[in-house]
Amino acid sequence: TKQGNQRQKCGATKTLLLMKTHSETGANSDSKRSGRPKATIASEDTFLRVNSLHDRWLTEQQLQAQLNSDRSKQVSVSTVKKRLQAVGLTGRDAARKPLLRCVRIRE
């Protein structure tokens, strides 16, 4: 294990842990994590993406209303925003330009 540590540049404890995991499971992959499940499934994420691309003027509130019309458990607007941001669809407002001064209006 000492040579393996030097080759991989990791500590002895990490090497022993990896060897133990490999002997128990037969692989070095991580186990499934426990945690809160996502509020939407993959098909609903696709629904949001397709509808947003189809009609670019739809707001998150309107997309939420469309999604919640067929669901028993409601989805929040922030969830809709997160799903759209995850696929690269971020809503932005146009930047404000400074108001014209009297001198500039005459030109």
Q: How many residues does the chain have?
A: 107
> What are the domain boundaries of the chain?
1-30, 42-86
Give pTM, 2 decimals: 0.59
- C-alpha to C-alpha distance for 60 and 82, rounded to whole angstroms: 10
Given the structure tokens 């000492």, which residue do they identify? 2
- C-alpha to C-alpha distance for 26 and 32, rounded to whole angstroms: 15
Tens digit of each residue's pLDDT, the chain (107 residues): 455 545 657 788 888 888 888 888 777 776 677 788 899 999 999 999 999 999 989 999 999 999 999 899 999 999 999 999 999 998 877 788 887 777 777 66
Q: How high is the pLDDT of residue 107?
A: 61
Q: How high is the pLDDT of residue 3?
A: 55
- C-alpha to C-alpha distance for 89 and 80, rounded to whole angstroms: 11
